[in-house]
Amino acid sequence: AQSVTQLDSQVPVFEEAPVELRCNYSSSVSVYLFWYVQYPNQGLQLLLKYLSGSTLVKGINGFEAEFNKSQTSFHLRKPSVHISDTAEYFCAVSDVDTGRRALTFGSGTRLQVQP
Amino acid sequence: DAGVIQSPRHEVTEMGQEVTLRCKPISGHDYLFWYRQTMMRGLELLIYFNNNVPIDDSGMPEDRFSAKMPNASFSTLKIQPSEPRDSAVYFCASSGTGTYGYTFGSGTRLTVV
């Protein structure tokens, strides 16, 4: 069974400051990793994904994430946030080996960007 | 591409009534997923289909919930009878075989009073 832990339920940050949202996962098999963003009253939008290859993955809106297999982490970073980045962010995993396509999501981190 | 289309956006119903949520996936996508989002439990997978066939329904809470996908362009999630604890946002998402990561719909906010 897989699980995803997002340790921070809320992250307040000032505009133009850097931010890191943490994600750790647990799985007995190889995984694909994803970050999604959810704006108020909207569905989830894919920010970026790690499938294979380079462990540093770049996504939309200036976000990037680094896959660290030894630490089973996939932290999301942005060097300078904007007010418009205020949203809920979800980390998710899916199996590589079993072919099961369902995603297991973390509990989410609410990013609050303050002026 | 209109994306994944869900209807209705909001549904308020009385306990005991039947509720039907609808989803139109992206054309060409052969995977369809139903998720439920609540404050207490976060995002939970209810069921997913591949080529219109249910693959994993282990997340369906109980027999009151049922899901169908009669063709590649339409799926329904039905709750009968509904209960207040079913109040949540229900998301539909779709994905293609060669891609990983879903496209989500805007969700249906269900309130059972």
The beta strand positions in B1-113, using DSSP E, are 5-7, 10-13, 19-24, 31-38, 42-50, 53-56, 65-71, 74-79, 88-95, 103-104, 108-112
Looking at residue A20, its amino acid is: E
- Enumerate the residues of chain B whose CB falls inside 8 A of the CB of residue A43: 4, 91, 93, 104-107
Residue B1 has pLDDT above 70, yes or no: no
pLDDT band at A80 (very low <50, low <70, confident <90, very high): very high
Q: How many CB pairs under 8 A join A and B?
A: 48
Contact A25, A31 (CB under 8 A): yes
Question: Is the model's pLDDT at A98 over the cut of 80?
Answer: no
pLDDT at residue number B101? 81
B73-106 residue pLDDT tens: 999 999 999 999 999 999 999 999 877 788 999 9
Angle at A45 between CA A19 and CA A37, to 5 degrees: 25
Residue B37 structure tokens:
């989002």
| A42 → chain B, closest CA residue | B106
Quick count: other Cβ atoms within 10 Å of Cβ A81?
23
Pairing verdict, β B53-56 and B5-7: unpaired
Closest in A42, A49, A106 to B101, CB measured: A49
Which residues of A are less than 8 Å from B101 in CB distance? 34, 46, 49
Share of chain A above pLDDT 90, in %: 80
Residues 53-112 in A contacting B (C-alpha not used; CB under 8 Å):
90, 94, 100-108
- Minimum mean pLDDT range among A84-88, A100-104, B86-90: A100-104
A26 DSSP β-pair partners: A3
Rounded to a whole number of angstroms, the distance between the first and last alpha carbons of chain A is: 41
> Which tokens in the block code for residue A59?
């996504």
Task: List pLDDT tens digits, range B18-72.
Answer: 999 999 999 999 999 999 999 999 999 999 999 999 999 999 988 999 999 999 9
User: Which residues of B fall within a CB distance of 8 Å from A41?
Assistant: 106
pLDDT band at A100 (very low <50, low <70, confident <90, very high): confident
Q: pLDDT tens across A47-57, in order?
A: 999 998 899 99
Q: Which residue of B has its CA nearest to A93?
A: B101
Q: How far is B32 from chain A (nearest CA, A)?
A: 10
Residue B38 burial (CB count, 10 A): 13
Phi, psi at A66, each rounded to 5°:
-120, 125
Q: Map tokens 């030894």 to a residue.
A: A70
Average model confidence (pLDDT) for chain A?
93
Lowest-confidence range among A100-109, B5-14, B66-75, B79-88? Answer: A100-109
